A and B are shown apart, each in its own frame.
Chain A
Amino acid sequence: MKGIVFTEFLEMVEERFSLEVVDGIIERAALPSGGSYTAVGTYPVEEMGRLVGELSAATGAPVPALLHAFGKHLMTRFTQGFPRFFAESTDALGLLERVETVIHVEVKKLYPDAELPSFECTREGPDRIVMVYRSPRRLSDLAAGLIEGCAEHYGETLDVAREDLSGDGQAVRFTITRGGGT
């Protein structure tokens, strides 16, 4: 998993909770990397699992809720770090449609070793797309948080219906409908 996910995660924990909580979950997780992350590095995805698990244990918040919140946070950072991609779309559905076909293509050019989830999109109408998340990492909660963060960026309200296609979270269908409350 790319280092930026780890550094952003730890920054979020430090902002929302404290440096102490960060230190605590790292210590308890007993990570092979020792919890030293750089945004340009690559680290085992299991470490993220352990960190989120420890955070849940330390705060009492369920893992899905934490991943969701992290997804929203990550999207905020993306809008700051890569404003070009967001300027190229005029609305949230437009941007989401371009994740697979444009944004991930660009990411692959910079980081050929990046293991990215796939987001297969189908346009079902002017206000609706179907997006199928596929990844062995089963992080569809994170994806849901990213979708919500995206809607917030464009000042839109999206109705997101979620259906687990594989039964184990490796393939999840999001039916995303633009609401009237923009």
Chain B
Amino acid sequence: MSDPIAVLERALERERRARKAAEGLLEEKSRELFTANQDLRALAGTLEQQVEERTRELALARDEAVSASRAKSQFLANMSHELRTPLNAIIGYSEMLREDAIDAGDEALSTDLLRIHSAGKHLLSLINDVLDLSKIEAGQMDVFLESVPVGPLLADVVSTIRPVVEKNGNTLELVAEGELGTAHVDVTKVRQTLFNLLSNAGKFTSNGRVTLTAGREREGDRDTLVLTVRDTGIGMTPEQMENLFVPFKQADASTSRRYGGTGLGLAICEHFCRMLGGAIVAHSEPGVGSTFSVRLPARQPRAEHPSGSFERPARPSRGAVVVVDDDANARDLLSRTLAAEGYTVHAAADGEEGLRLAREVRPVAITLDVLMPQLDGWAVLSALRADDSLRDVPVVIVTMVGDRNVALALGATELVSKPVDRERLASIIARHVKAPAEILVVEDDEHSRDLVVRVIEGHGCTAVCAQNGRIALDRLAERQPAAIVLDLMMPELDGFELLERIAVEPALRAIPVIVTTAKTLSREDRGRLEGRVQQILQKGLYSQSDLVKWLERVTVPLAEAP
């Protein structure tokens, strides 16, 4: 047997050496950890530095991109202005010359002029498409939401596009499914989308049917406006549909030769729908037809016109009109029609009430029913004519029975028979409450100016011209015009600045202003114009009748003013 002490001594010695070995390992591990930690710190430092460097580079790249984008949009805005201004002259003068040619019975010339006019319009639409797409891609396309009644909007779209669709022997139908109500949308974009879809449908369909169906889907909080354009045209194959919404791509190269167009329309429609929070979907079958469905959120923050009030807050009233009719439906219809024309309507259910209202509000016109209990229309008319303050107020007799000559002999201005043709009524009233008025035209481009002047003079008004804002201010100091037609981009004092000067002059503030511009208006621009101008007409896009309508409207109340 071994010596127990020696065994213990050896065991102790082994433990001591093991401990030392363990301590050595521990120290080694500690050193490794320390080094690893230092490496990590160094790495973290480098990484932070790299991140900072990258951030700087990115910020620089972003600034460069932003300024490049600004330069691009400025260039586009200038381009649009430069291109649209001469086009405006081409389109306007060809339209005007054509009317002259038609009046002169020169059919050949009128046809040629129509070609120039159409070509100009076409060129303009191509330019607009390219500009729209550039703006969309640069993120510069703004959305202007407003509440509009859907029915009239669609009716307007359909009546505008009808000639285009019917050209190929097609029929065009508008189908409203249920109550359409009012929608909160960007009117311009909705119109443009529908114009595009409908003109496409007309283009690819001949001797067929094009239908615009409108409906409203309400589901919980969601309120969706669904607009569907359906045609019975040539349709598309699945392959052709693949690139449907891709810019610059048409079904195939032969399409552009045969049907024209830039291939941008649908791409723009699709962008617009998305910008408005909606979508567009296409279905098609070759030889059967195509269907394009647009779904847009139709947020409806307010109820429709409260009954009894027909005032439009958006634009100044053209003056008061008193409507006298004992039939509630007829009264309502007349009131709505006239309110839509911009008059403040005061309705009376009988002759006594009508007289009282007329004396109170001093209307610019009165519509009068004949067959009423108690005081009938003729009695009211003679009472009006006997009243000094109301003697000159135009009175339109609106009646189911009645002889125009009798009415005129009794002092009526005009007679309109029921059921009332609303447009006729509106134009009669507009005509009779109008007096020659002086219109100030502020425009630097000579051609554009002459064009406007001729429209104004053709409408029986006189025009005073100013080449820029400064000259306009001089003219305004001399005499107050009934209205101002204003260009925006001008040397010296531009349209925006002129509006600012006018806004601070109490005597000038109330003068109605219409803007005609070739400038693509930004949100900011619109903000500066808001509340200061009644209407904005895009040069080249508006027709003379738009300007005429406005003139009819604005020359009325001012001419009536004492």
A interface residues (Cβ-Cβ under 8 A, vs B) = 7, 19-20, 22-24, 26-27, 34-41
Which residue of the partner chain B has the closest CB to A21?
B7
User: When chains A and B are docked, how far (Å) is the Cα of A40 from the Cα of B2?
Assistant: 31
From A34, A37, A38, A40, name the one whose CB has the most chain B CB atoms within 10 angstroms: A38
For the complex, is B17 an interface residue (Cβ under 8 Å from A)? yes
CB-CB nearest in chain B for A18: B7
A-contact 0/1 string along B1-45, CB 8 Å cutoff: 110100110110111111101100110000000000000000000
Complex: how many Å from CA A61 to CA B73? 95
Cross-chain contact A36 with B21 (CB below 8 angstroms) = yes
Residue with the greatest number of chain A CB neighbours at <10 A, chosen from B2, B4, B21: B21
**Is the CB–CB distance between B7 and A20 below 8 Å?**
yes
Query: How many residues of chain B are within 8 Å of chain A by beta carbon?
Result: 18
Main secondary structure, interface of B, reads helix
List residues of chain A with CB within 8 A of the CB of B10.
23, 26-27
Assess whether A37 is in contact with B18, with CB atoms less than 8 Å apart: yes
- Which of B4, B7, B11, B26 is A40 in contact with, Cβ under 8 Å? B26
> Are A38 and B11 in contact (CB-based, < 8 A)?
no
Given contacts A19-B7, A20-B1, A20-B2, 9 further A-B contacts (CB under 8 A): A19-B8, A23-B2, A27-B10, A36-B15, A36-B16, A37-B18, A38-B19, A39-B22, A40-B26
A111 → chain B, closest Cβ, in Å?
Answer: 11
Note all chain B residues with C-beta closer than 8 A to A35: 14
Report the minimum CB–CB distance from B363 to chain A (whole Å): 92
Please pick, from B4, B7, B11, B21, the residue contacting A41 in the complex, using a CB distance under 8 A. B21
- 7 A-B pairs with C-beta separation under 8 A: A20-B1, A23-B11, A36-B17, A37-B14, A39-B22, A40-B25, A41-B21
Residue of B whose beta carbon sits closest to that of A43: B21
Q: Which residue on B lies nearest to A23, using beta carbons?
A: B7
Interface string of B358-398 (1 = CB under 8 A from A): 00000000000000000000000000000000000000000
Query: Which chain A residues border B22 with CB–CB below 8 Å?
Result: 38-41
Cβ–Cβ < 8 Å partners of B25 in chain A:
38, 40-41
Residue of A nearest to B21 (CB): A38
Which residues of B lie under 8 Å from residue A19 when comparing CB positions? 7-8, 11
Q: How far is the CA of A26 from the CA of B13 in the complex (A)?
A: 13
Which residues B66-124 have CB closer than 8 A to chain A? none
Residue of A nearest to B23 (CB): A38
CB distance from A36 to the nearest CB of B (A): 4
Minimum CB–CB distance for B167 against chain A, Å: 76
| A19–B4 CA distance with the chains assembled, in angstroms | 9
The listed residue with most B CB atoms (<10 A of its CB), out of A22, A24, A36, A39, is: A36
